[in-house]
Amino acid sequence: MIYQGKQKIWADYQKEIPDDHWFYVRSCIRQNFFPASEVTMLKIFREMLGKDMYETPHHTTCGGIAYHNECIPQETQMAIIARQFALMTEAGYENYTCSCITSFGLYCETIETWHEMPEVLERTRENLWKACRREFNIPKYLAHTSDLVFKFRKEIGALAKYRLVNKDTGEPLRVVEHIGCHYAKMFPSKGVGGAEYPYVLVGMAEEWGGNVIDYPERRHCCGFGFRQYLVRANRGYSVSNTHKKFESMEPFHPDFIVTNCPGCPYFLDRWQYVIAEQTGKTYGGNGQGIPVLTYEEMAGLVLGLDPWDIGMQVHQIAVEPLLDKIGIEYDESKKYEGTGGKPLPEPEFPAAIRCC
């Protein structure tokens, strides 16, 4: 691999990301499955970097998952987006950032359509007025929250307590980065680094000491596929696509996977468990899996936040081997605690894959 070739492409896909004052909206999937990731993200930006991230309780789902399951028409989708923008406008913001990749893709696509077809924008304005008596401006800047972490990767690096380096060997950790499909595949110019060699996660991982792996099925979808996962009958598609990626990355012995999409870490994590149950195969050595992190978790770990504060216990694949490699301190006895140190019953441990 010729690194300079990628650098040239990265140079072609720069994205303007404002420094401060964002209107922040959440991700349905992240809130359900990795709730602490959004908490960590806001903590880093508000408390550590002193940035203004405004959130209103009135914002809702963008409807993206329903739209991509054909449960709501495109016109409904656009009106829900318009309502989110109206909330932003009313709050006096013009920089919009979202935690979800499906949302991000839809925002990009919708703004693009409104730009190409002004009559569609007009109709959306009418619909929103009719339904909610609201008006909106289109955001001046649109960013996914991974874009923001990317932008401040050096500042975060300066505050870091740990590096993505094997403490015993001194070697950089081998990182697989996985980008949500709707981040840049639809509109390559909207993503940091473009669609083919996205730089958003590579930039973070490298800045914090890791070494990123490029493996044959890197660009491939995690296999979510909306209805292909949500309906049990279709899940063979979903698990098979994840399986394909793991088979492809296996020879590179990754230390962990980092993702920027809410759904991908869930699928890459849970399908490892299902593959182990169904075929007995595990990918992480010692009968364990390969830990799958959100980028907020990766940032939280290098910043020295307690792994159980940032939600590492809600992963099926145990992260302890990774914490040990980096040399991160943790108290195993606190892993399954509730609030205020209240002990919770331990989860079951599957036989097919070692989850500590």
Task: Among 128, 164, 205, 293, indicate the residue that binds other proteins (CB under 8 A).
Answer: 128
Question: Residue 72 or 157: which CB sits closer to other proteins?
Answer: 72
In angstroms, what is the minimal distance from the CB of 161 to other proteins? 20
170 binds other proteins per the rule CB under 8 A: no
CA distances from 107 to 96, 203, 220, 323, 341 (A): 10, 24, 22, 36, 41
Task: Among 11, 91, 131, 356, indicate the residue that binds other proteins (CB under 8 A).
Answer: 131
DSSP class of 256:
E
Q: Which of residues 303-342 bind other proteins (CB under 8 A)?
A: 309, 311, 313-316, 336-339, 342
As a whole number of angstroms, the distance between CA 44 and CA 59 comes to 22
Q: Count residues contacting other proteins (CB under 8 A)?
A: 115
135 binds other proteins per the rule CB under 8 A: no
Question: Residue 2 or 158: which CB sits closer to other proteins?
Answer: 2
239 binds other proteins per the rule CB under 8 A: yes
Q: Residue 253's closest CA among 207, 227, 281, 290?
A: 290
Q: Which two tokens stand for residue 335?
A: 């892993």
Backbone angles phi, psi at 244, to 5 degrees: -60, -40
Task: Among 51, 120, 141, 159, indicate the residue that binds other proteins (CB under 8 A).
Answer: 120
**Burial of 232 from C-beta contacts in 10 A (0-12 / 13-18 / 19+):** exposed
121 binds other proteins per the rule CB under 8 A: no
Residues 30-49, one symbol each (x = binds other proteins by CB under 8 A, - = not), give -xx--xx-xx----------
Q: Which two tokens stand for residue 266?
A: 């869930």
Q: Which residue has the tokens 């993200």?
A: 41
As a whole number of angstroms, the distance between CA 278 and CA 271 comes to 10
197 binds other proteins per the rule CB under 8 A: yes
Q: Which of residues 52-111 bind other proteins (CB under 8 A)?
A: 55-61, 63-66, 68-76, 78-80, 83, 105
